[in-house]
Amino acid sequence: MPHDPKVCFQDVKIACELIIQFIGSMSADEYFADAKTKSAIERQFEIIGEALNRVKKINPELLDSISDWQHIIGFRNVLSHCYNTTSDESVYGFATDDVHTLLSDITKKLKD
């Protein structure tokens, strides 16, 4: 059964919103010390990357308006397969900065 790109984009939106909710106003040091939040955020990034990868397999042109989608899929692969090489600093940076751009891109995409 093929995946529905709209459902995949909705999954990305929900995961972005959860990341923003989970990180809240945490400082980097608070994040680094909170194993539960780190794990939860990394899981949401895995969902985001997998959902975008599914869309890529259906129709890569649907990702044209998503900033850095290749990098996001690659980040998911690193989290899933090379988890021990991923720095908390990079995950925190993506969670506090880049996820907002992705959420904006996905929200626009869902309105199209």
Which tens digits make up the pLDDT trace of 56-78? 999 999 999 999 999 999 999 99
Domain ranges of the chain: 5-111
Give residue for tokens 């308006």: 65
Ramachandran angles phi, psi of 89, nearest 5°: -65, -40
Q: What is the mean pLDDT of residues 16-27?
A: 97
Q: What is the mean pLDDT of residues 90-107?
A: 96
Give the global pTM. Answer: 0.93
Rounded Cα distance between 109 and 84, Å, is: 33
Residue 1 has pLDDT above 70, yes or no: no
pLDDT digit string, tens, across residues 41-57 = 999 999 999 999 999 99
| Residue bearing the bigger pLDDT, 84 or 23 | 23
pLDDT of residue 102: 97
- DSSP one-letter code for 12: H
